[in-house]
Structure 1
Amino acid sequence: MFMITRCLHSSQLLLLAALPPKFPYPFLDFELMGAVGSALRSPIVDMSTKQAKFVENTIASNKVVIFSKTYCPYCTMAKEPFKKLNVDATVIELDGNPDGNEIQAVLGEITGARTVPRVFINGKFIGGGTDIKRMFETGALQKYFQ
């Protein structure tokens, strides 16, 4: 069995005795750990870029928009119900777009996730592949087009 110890100067021992313990690991610095975790998060996306304007304009000017990748099975899952309903959807394939990564970052900022597909109806984010499939199966998707 291994034991990790931390050497303290005698002045630190007095200070440590006065501080309430951080249960159950009093020697871990959770504030520092939080700073490291924060540094790993994605940077804030600049919503004034041409990619952000493209996303906003595309969503605003089309009834149905699907941001997708050609090889993604969830994207295929999201597109199929619209084909079955004979609804024209504007599909933006990000893997074939030189600005695809930046567009995906903008979508992450708008919707809270970078995953694809990102499906919008009437300017509103509806969900991803399993959400669209579930809506189709329950009849909720069809109500948007009646």
Structure 2
Amino acid sequence: MERVNELAKSKAAVIFAKSSDCMCHSIKTLFYDLGASPTVYEIDYDPKGREMEIALQRLGCMPSVPAIFIGGNFVGSAKDVLAAHLSGSLKNMLIAAKAIWL
């Protein structure tokens, strides 16, 4: 859990993902389209990926990926990010965290 927290706070926008997951790809694409360059941790390539996946599940992320952090705060999974995008609050979160500039 400590490693996940440290990585999540290391950059303005952080996505924990798996390389073969289509929702992970969609969320990364959404961030890029909004002008953000999130730090992406592909947990299936990380030697401690299984431990990270368990920590993400303990945070309440089901399924474990994608798990999105903005400004060091856990935003949620794909459905939470998509809901924030549709309401217009995702862009505001990214601006507040200095992940994008206008």
- State the TM-score, normalizing by the size of structure 2: 0.81
In the TM superposition, 1:1-146 aligns within 5 A as 52-111=1-60, 113-144=62-93, 145=95
Cα deviations by residue, 1:74-116 (Å, 9 ceiling, x for unpaired): 1112212210111121100011112111111111123354521
Unpaired runs of 5+ residues, structure 1, are 1-51
**Percent identity between the aligned chains?**
29
- Range that drifts further, 120-129 or 132-141: 132-141
**RMSD of the alignment, in Å?**
1.7
The residue type equivalent to 2:39 in the other structure is T
Of structures 1 and 2, the larger Rg is shown by: 1
2: CA distance, partners of 1:94 / 1:100? 4
Q: Which has the higher contact order (CA 8 A, sep 6+)?
A: 2
2: CA distance, partners of 1:105 / 1:134? 24
Equivalenced residues, count: 95
- State the TM-score, normalizing by the size of structure 1: 0.59
CA contact (8 A) 1:64 1:119 kept: yes
More strand by share: 2
Unpaired runs of 5+ residues, structure 2, are 97-102
Cα deviations by residue, 1:10-38 (Å, 9 ceiling, x for unpaired): xxxxxxxxxxxxxxxxxxxxxxxxxxxxx
Provide closer, same or farther for how the CA distance between residues 123 and 56 of structure 1 changes in structure 2, counting only shifts above 3 A.
Answer: same
